[in-house]
Structure 1
Amino acid sequence: MSATIRIADLANPVLSDTQRMALDYGDSLQLEFTESAVLGQAIATAGVDDFGDDGFRERLGLLLNEWDSDAQLTGIGRLTLHNKLVQHATSRLLIQDMLHKHPEIHEVEIREPVIVAGLPRSGTTHLLNLMAADTRFRSLPLWESYEPVPRPGEAGHPRGPADPRWQRCEEAWQGMQMSTPYLAAMHPMEPDHIHEELELMGPDFASYNYEWLAPSPRWRDHYLSHDQTPHYEYMKTVLKLLQWQCGPNRWVLKCPQHMEQLPVLQKVFPDATIAITHRDPVAVIQSAITMLGYGQRLNRKNVDLPALLEYWSDRIETLLRACVRDRDSLDSARTVDVPFDKFMADDIGMVGNIYACAGIPFTAQARAELEAFMAAHPRGKEGRIVYDLEGDFGVKPEQLRERFDFYFERFPAARPR
């Protein structure tokens, strides 16, 4: 892959043969976006039928209705969304079954996690994966976030490539690279990539993650108008289950959603050290909507770049206004602000600052593990995307940046120099 990547056909995609084949395959499918279809497929896969508390059904129904009525979804887009709901329902069954068989899981303690919050595309993924290279931490690889509990007959495999869950994740990643090859440069999704814990809210049919999968304004409004504490508690229970399955016992986690849920995050994880990344929101928006626009060539009948700009500019503003409102409510002794430019200038030094706040010794072994990760994952390894906010989306960066003066006033280091 070239060192620089300019997606020149973002608004009017020139499709590859692989992409055309994927669209044709999707168009051949007939999928039922009904509760009975999704839950029935999950029951057939999991081999059990106890979903636990029924409160999730309202949220599942909202997603099914919103997505089924979206006339712009392609067949392959509908398949992707349907599969995600079945995946979450299957995991819910298997989690519920494991908790029923092993109630002692509820007694597991999640102690002093290190949690990264920050805008999407603001260095949170790199910071998480860098700290996860420290083997004293327990972290959440992508394959395990998708399937926290093995399917019937699959227990007992060693963690990693021999695990059928890892293999399914790898197959999906290979398929994604074939159909949307620039994704690796924007957001790697290989099985061992350390992922966001909000995926563990999926089996409770919660989190803002669904907004990333398809335009979902009704879901957004429901999510923003409801207390997310029960869903954070559900996520924490799944973390207990994972920790019960294998250690280490100190977690390193991250999720951009936490930016608008800081009081909930502190309530559910009262002894956490929280590191909040700060980056120019315009850089974040252009990166996010370029990635989403690139994906729309497969999952939507028409690429709607103006709609992406409008939706995600608003969404980023909502995240930032909540952060500005709630940042000072956090325990200052357990909170670190991480300016993006300083983090990029000295990755490992910034990790040292976070460790000092969390009371974690920065040992020679830890430094060596982080340096080994950096050497194996140089920036731009998969190519660098060239962004053009004005050319692709019709807005000047400085014009959009004025919208976020309230954020720069509170966190001046985020303003580009």
Structure 2
Amino acid sequence: MSPVEDPTPGLFADNLDLLVDSINEEGQFSEQGAAASTVMLALAQRKRIEVSHWCATEPGITQQPVERPVFLTGLPRSGTTYFQYLFDREPSLRMMRTWEGDSPCPPPAADPASAAQRQAHCAEQHRQRRERDGGASDSFHLSDPDGPQECVMIMDQTFGNAGHLWTFRVPGYFDRVLDTVDLAACYAHHKRVLQTLQWQAPTPRWALKWPCHLLALDPILQVYPDAAMVVTHRDPVAVLASNCSYSTFLRGMFSDRVDRAEVGQQMKDLVGRHIRALVDFDANRADGVTIAHVDYSQVVADPEAAMVDVYRSLDLELTPEVRQSIAQWRAENPPGKRGVHTYDLSDYGLDAREVAEEFAFYTERFDLAGKVGA
């Protein structure tokens, strides 16, 4: 897409300042990491400007409804991605594709030729990444160029992404996102991106996946009052160990100084904030808000049974065709196909028993106490 003028200069500038200040003060980036992060932030800003441009020049975009979206969320590393791929078998739901997150503009239906080019470009980037890292990234996070992708690629445009703490050493920014950033404004832009992607196409029912949605359930309902939530649950000891391993891998791309004990403490804070946000919301949510709770161990052992319960909550019909599609996808993607992600909490200066005790209020509330290590 050709360069365009920003119709909303200054939008999310304060959020960007918070992130850049934290990177400069806390990031401990290598020279290569600093250059890579600069490119990442510039690309996110470009996407935001392009979406703003389309919404300004085609005012009908923001007049479209986004009705009854489904937010797929849960503790980070609790099976949300796996569940997302199962949900992608459902033809009545629309998920953002990876290539759309990489390059949302022009709206795909408005310019099919451009959409095809962007899809091919994304596929080539994925091929090159897998060639560079030998597929190591896939063992941490399942991602395909035309596969369903999480909303982090939208939230990056707002610079209100608490998940940057996985990739960057920015604990100050993480705290500010949760305590001072206007997340409702970020989700208002999130809606504009969805409206841009669906422009001139049949109006879908969106399914939107990201663990950090847990940190913003009330702001989400301000923007999407008829939203439904699907929340995955897993033993927090296993969740925390997986987060520590994943963050260590990601931060190693940007810094030569990754302190595992520090990662352990920061990931414990991140997981704890997700847990407390969920428990508080679940205890105080208004009547009429739909939340379907999903056990990670059931999703892995018997995903069809888990899907039956969730479909019932969402007023969807789990048809024989969808059941067959789920079974086929599982057969084609057995555990370990793209590598095995191994981790141990003790590598990060944390004690599993102490972590289990700290988060017992969560495991007891959602009946996970007997599933430690799951």
Q: Same fold (TM over 0.5)?
A: yes
Change (3 A) 1:395 1:213: closer
Correspondence for 2:35 among 51, 58, 79: 79
Distance 1:196 1:345, change over 3 A: same
Percent of pairs with identical residues:
28
List gaps (5 residues or longer) in structure 1: 1-44
- Could you give the per-residue CA deviations for residues 128-158 of structure 1, whole angstroms, max 9, x where no partner exists? 111112222111111111211149xx94327
Q: Is residue 2:323 matched to residue 1:370?
A: no
Q: Is the 8 A contact 2:26 2:170 kept in 1?
A: no
Match of 1:120 in 2: 76
| Alpha-carbon contact 2:71-2:228 (below 8 Å) kept | yes
Aligned to 2:101: 145
After superposition, the Cα gap between the structure-2 partners of 1:313 and 1:140, relative to the gap in structure 1 and judged at 3 Å, is same
2:359 match: secondary structure: helix
- Name the aligned partner's letter for residue 214 of structure 1: F
Q: Does residue 1:201 correspond to 2:155, yes or no?
A: yes
- Alpha-carbon distance between aligned partners in 1 of 2:2 and 2:241, rounded to the nearest angstrom: 40
What SS class does the counterpart of residue 49 from structure 1 fall into? Answer: coil
Counterpart contact for 2:236–2:356, Cα < 8 Å = yes
Counterpart amino acid of residue 143 in structure 1:
W
Q: Report 1:229-378 matches (<5 A).
A: 229-247=184-202, 249-328=204-283, 329-331=285-287, 334-378=290-334
SS in 2 for 1:72: coil
Q: In structure 2, what is the Cα distance between the partners aligned to 1:106 and 1:273?
A: 21
Structure 2 gaps of 5+ residues are none
In structure 2, give the amino acid aligned to 1:382. Answer: R
Partner amino acid, structure 1, of 2:298: K
Per-residue deviation, 1:300: 1.0
Q: 2:15 aligns with which of 34, 49, 59?
A: 59
Counterpart of 2:56 in structure 1 is 100
Cα separation, partners in 2 of 1:203 and 1:294, compared to 1, 3 Å: closer
Matched, 1:397 2:352: yes
Match of 1:35 in 2: none
CA distance in 2 between partners of 1:69 and 1:325 (Å): 32
Larger deviation: 293-302 or 338-347?
293-302
Q: Shift of the alpha carbon at 1:56?
A: 1.4
Deviations 1:57-78 (A, max 9, x none): 1222222232234562112211
State the shift of 1:188 in Å: 2.5
- Tell me how large the CA RMSD over aligned residues is: 2.2
Quote how far apart the aligned CAs of 1:316 are. 0.7
Q: CA deviation at 1:280?
A: 0.8
Shift of 1:310: 0.5
Given the alignment of the two structures, is residue 174 of structure 1 paired with residue 127 of structure 2, yes or no? yes
From the superposition, tell whether residues 275 and 312 of structure 1 become closer, same or farther in structure 2 (CA, over 3 Å). same
Q: Deviations for 1:152-193, whole angstroms, at most 9, x for unmatched residues?
A: xx943275xxx2322333343234324433221111233123
Matched to 1:231, the amino acid is C
CA distance in 2, matches of 1:264, 1:288: 25
Aligned length: 367
State the shift of 1:269 in Å. Answer: 2.0
What's the offset of the Cα at 1:246? Answer: 3.1
Give the residue type in structure 2 aligned to 1:185: S
Give the alignment's TM-score, normalised by structure 2: 0.91
Q: Secondary structure at the match of 2:229?
A: strand
Check conservation: 2:27, 2:169, Cα contact below 8 A. Answer: no
Matched, 1:164 2:117: yes
Q: d(CA) in 2 for partners of 1:372 and 1:287?
A: 27
Q: CA offset at residue 85 of structure 1?
A: 0.8
Tell me the equivalent position of 1:20.
none
Q: Is the 8 A contact 2:264 2:350 kept in 1?
A: no
Judge conservation of contact 1:266–1:330 (CA < 8 Å) in 2. no
Larger Rg: 1
Contact 1:150 1:165 in 2 (8 A): no
Q: Which digits, 9 at most, give the CA deviation of each residue in 1:282-335, with x for residues without a partner?
A: 111111111221334332112210111000101111111111111130546621
Say which SS state the counterpart of residue 157 (structure 1) adopts.
helix
Indicate yes or no: 2:123 matched with 1:192: no
Partner of 1:228: 183
Q: Residues of 2 paired with 1:71 and 1:97: CA distance?
A: 32
Q: Tell me the distance in 1 between the aligned counterparts of 2:96 and 2:21.
A: 31
Cα displacement (A) at 1:357: 1.0
- Paired amino acid for 1:351: M
Partner of 1:9: none
